[in-house]
Amino acid sequence: MPAGRGPYERARGGAAPAAGVPDGRRYGIVCLAFGALALAAFCWTWALSVTDWNPPNWIRIPGVLALPVGAAVSVGSAIGGHRSAPRGLVAAGLALTAAALIGFIVLLVVLG
């Protein structure tokens, strides 16, 4: 057995990922997923603000809370993976986040 090759490397057929080195693609996927979550939360907030639909608070609050959480995690993952994440995924995630935040600001200005 070659030096440095344990059972994990033999099973995969390659080298194990180095400890502490993040997978860059994961940052891009997280950025995109949470950007989509932020946009979905904006759509939820818009639907609650514009229509007469009035769900109970246990449904309303988690949906509205997803906007700042989605935006923060999306931007945080873009910053965390700025050197290793695929630029297309990060750009799409940040574009969705920006659309959600701009839409939310416009909603606040228009509806007061």
Write out the two tokens for 93: 């995630």
pTM: 0.77
| pLDDT of 1 above 80 | no
At 106, is the pLDDT very low, low, confident or very high (cuts 50, 70, 90)? Answer: very high
Separation of alpha carbons 1 and 104, rounded Å: 59
Please give the average per-residue pLDDT across 60-72, as a whole number.
Answer: 94
Separation of alpha carbons 43 and 53, rounded Å: 13
Higher pLDDT, residue 109 or 23: 109
| pLDDT of 9 above 70 | no
Interval 71-103: pLDDT, tens: 999 999 999 888 887 889 999 999 999 999 999
Helix axes 24-50, 87-111, angle to 10 degrees: 20
